[in-house]
Amino acid sequence: MAMTGSTPCSSMSNHTKERVTMTKVTLENFYSNLIAQHEEREMRQKKLEKVMEEEGLKDEEKRLRRSAHARKETEFLRLKRTRLGLEDFESLKVIGRGAFGEVRLVQKKDTGHVYAMKILRKADMLEKEQVGHIRAERDILVEADSLWVVKMFYSFQDKLNLYLIMEFLPGGDMMTLLMKKDTLTEEETQFYIAETVLAIDSIHQLGFIHRDIKPDNLLLDSKGHVKLSDFGLCTGLKKAHRTEFYRNLNHSLPSDFTFQNMNSKRKAETWKRNRRQLAFSTVGTPDYIAPEVFMQTGYNKLCDWWSLGVIMYEMLIGYPPFCSETPQETYKKVMNWKETLTFPPEVPISEKAKDLILRFCCEWEHRIGAPGVEEIKSNSFFEGVDWEHIRERPAAISIEIKSIDDTSNFDEFPESDILKPTGKKQEEKT
Ligand code: ATP
Ligand code: MG
C-alpha cells in the first residue's frame, strides 16, 4: 500500500510533479553515492596515513597498520558483493516505520546475527520505468566507517523493494525517548546534544551534510550512546517533495488558532499525540529544517546546527519551537523565526541553554559553528563535558537490554504485508 495517502496535497498534477522530482533526486543520489564510495575508500587510506604520521609510527608499525586496513577494506568489499537475498534472513519484528517503508529486526539464518533491515518500497520512491536505472546499483549504499553513524552491511533488492541490512541499535530512537518523557533534564540534554555535535561533525568532516537531523534519526546503541541513522538516502526524496509542496500550497492556509492559544502542557501533549503520524508521512515534518534550506539561495553544513538547536529546544521544553497544526503553518513559522522563536515563560530553562539554542537557531552567517566546531564545543552550556571520552563513559540514561533481539525500547508496530508475495513471484532478484 502506498503511503502517499497521508499527503495533504490533493492536486493530481502536483503529485505527479513531485514524483518526477523525487525520481530525479533519487537517481542523482544513487550515482553520486557510487562515486562517493570510491572517494571514501581513498579518503580512508589518506586518513590512515595522516593518523600514522601524527602518531609518529615506525615503518614496521605502519606496514602492519596498512595491511590490517587493507584486510578490512577487502572484507568490506566481499560483504558487499555477497549475493544475499530476503531468503537469507528471518524477520522477527517490525521496529520502525518511515515514509517509504519500514524497519524490521531480522536474523541472518546461517550466522544467527541480528540486524535491522530497512525495507523501501520502490513504487513509492520511483516511477516504474526508472527502476531499471538503479538495477546495476545493488551495492552502493554502504556508508563510511564511523562510530557515530549506523553501519550498513548489505543491500539487495527484488521486484518490490530495496533492502538495507544495517547494525541493529537496541536503544531505540530519540523521538521515542522524547515521547515517553515530558522533558529531559539539562544534564541529559547536555549529554545528547554534545554527542550529536560530535556525530554531526564527523559526517561534516567526511564532506557530507545531513540536512535531515531530527530526533527520529538519532538512534541509541546498547549503551545509550548516539548514532546517526543512515544519511543521504531518503532526504533528497522528501526534501524535493517538501519544496514542491510548499511552493504550490502556500496560499489558502488555515491559521492555527488552536495551537497558538494552548499552554505549553497542552502543546506538548498535542505534539506528542501527532508526532508518530508525522514521521510516517511522505511530507515529513518541516519542524527541524533550517530556513535557508527552503530557499533557492542555497545552504551549507551549518543547516545541521540549526536542526540541533530545534532538538535541544524540544528536549528542554517538551515540543519544538515551530510546531503547529499543519506542516504549512510550521513552514511559515520557521521562515518567520525572528518572531516565532520564543520560550514559554512557564517552562524553566537555564540562561546558558537558552543562549545556546538562540546561537544554533539564527541566520547562518552568525550561527555558532560557522568558524568551526570548536566554537560549539567551548560554549558554556557544555561546561564539564569530556569531549575526548564521552562515548566511552556512561550515557546519561542507560539502556537495559536482556538479549540480542530485545525490542523493548521500540514502540509496537502491527505486522505489515510488505514482505508478502502479491500474486507474482516476488523473490526474483535483479
Ligand atoms: P528517513 O528518516 O531517512 O526519512 P525513515 O523514516 O523511512 O527514513 P528511519 O528513520 O531510518 O527511516 O527508520 C525509522 C525508524 O526505525 C527509526 O526512527 C528507528 O526507530 C528505527 N530504526 C531505523 N534504523 C534502525 C537501526 N539500525 N536499529 C534500530 N532501529 C532502527
Ligand atoms: Mg525517519
- Which ligand lies nearest the alpha carbon of 118? 1
pLDDT for 427 equals 42
pLDDT at 115 over 90: yes
Same domain, 145 and 177: no
Mapping DSSP to helix (H, G, I), strand (E, B) and coil, where does residue 361 land? Answer: coil
243 vs 196, higher pLDDT:
196
Kindly state if the Cβ of 96 falls inside 6 Å of ligand 1: yes
Same domain, 270 and 329: yes
CA distance 345 to 317: 10
Cβ-proximal residues to 418 (8 Å cutoff; 6+ apart), any chain: 101, 102, 119, 121, 160, 161
Please state the separation of Cα 231 from the chain's center in Å.
Answer: 6
pLDDT band at 156 (very low <50, low <70, confident <90, very high): confident
| Residue whose C-alpha is closest to residue 308's, from 377, 343, 356 | 356
Same domain, 201 and 162: no
pLDDT for 7 equals 36
> Residues 64-71: contacts with CB within 8 Å, 24+ apart?
69/44, 69/45
Same domain, 230 and 122: no
Residue 144 lies in a domain: yes
Q: Which domain holds residue 107?
A: 86-167
Same domain, 211 and 354: yes
**Do 291 and 335 touch, CB atoms closer than 8 A?**
yes
Same domain, 193 and 120: no
CA distance 214 to 276: 13
CA distance 207 to 204: 5
Ligand 1 pocket mutation pick from 93, 103, 180, 408 by most atoms within 8 angstroms of CB: 103
Task: Tell whether pTM > 0.75.
Answer: yes
Cβ-proximal residues to 399 (8 Å cutoff; 6+ apart), any chain: 170, 171, 220, 221, 222, 223, 224, 409
Residue 6 lies in a domain: no
**Do 33 and 25 touch, CB atoms closer than 8 A?**
no
Kindly state if the Cβ of 216 falls inside 6 Å of ligand 1: yes
Cβ-proximal residues to 270 (8 Å cutoff; 6+ apart), any chain: 259, 262, 319
DSSP β-ladder status, 89-98 and 101-108: antiparallel
Residue 334 lies in a domain: yes
- Ranked by mean pLDDT, the top range of 25-34, 275-284, 357-366 is 357-366
Residue 306 lies in a domain: yes
Across the chain, mean pLDDT equals 81
Domains in the chain: how many in total? 2
Lowest mean pLDDT among 105-109, 137-141, 243-247, 423-427: 137-141
CA distance 199 to 188: 17
Edge-to-edge, what's the strand order for the sheet holding 114-121?
A: 89-98, 101-108, 114-121, 161-166, 152-157
pLDDT for 27 equals 54
pLDDT at 129 over 50: no
**Do 200 and 306 touch, CB atoms closer than 8 A?**
no
118 belongs to an annotated ligand binding site: yes
Residue 191 lies in a domain: yes
Taking residues 398-421, report their average pLDDT: 87
Same domain, 299 and 333: yes
Same domain, 334 and 247: yes
Taking residues 74-88, report their average pLDDT: 76
Residue 193 lies in a domain: yes
The model's pLDDT over 29-74, given as tens digits with 9 standing for 90+, comes to 555 566 667 777 888 889 899 989 988 889 998 998 898 888 877 7
| Residue whose C-alpha is closest to residue 418's, from 170, 124, 156, 172 | 124
End-to-end CA distance of the chain: 22
Which DSSP state fits 194?
H
Same domain, 131 and 196: no
pLDDT for 159 equals 83
pLDDT at 306 over 50: yes
Same domain, 313 and 331: yes
pLDDT for 193 equals 98
State the cell numbers at 289.
529544517
pLDDT for 81 equals 62
Residue 158 lies in a domain: yes
Q: Is 100 exposed, middle or buried (0-12, 13-18, 19+ CB in 10 A)?
A: buried
Kindly state if the Cβ of 171 falls inside 6 Å of ligand 1: no
CATH code where residue 138 lies: 3.30.200.20
- Which ligand lies nearest the alpha carbon of 104? 1
Residue 413 lies in a domain: no
What positions carry a catalytic annotation? 212
**C-alpha pair distances (Å), 98 with each of 102, 236, 269, 307, 313:** 6, 14, 22, 19, 24
Please state the separation of Cα 270 from the chain's center in Å.
Answer: 23
Ligand 1 center to 103 CA (angstroms): 6
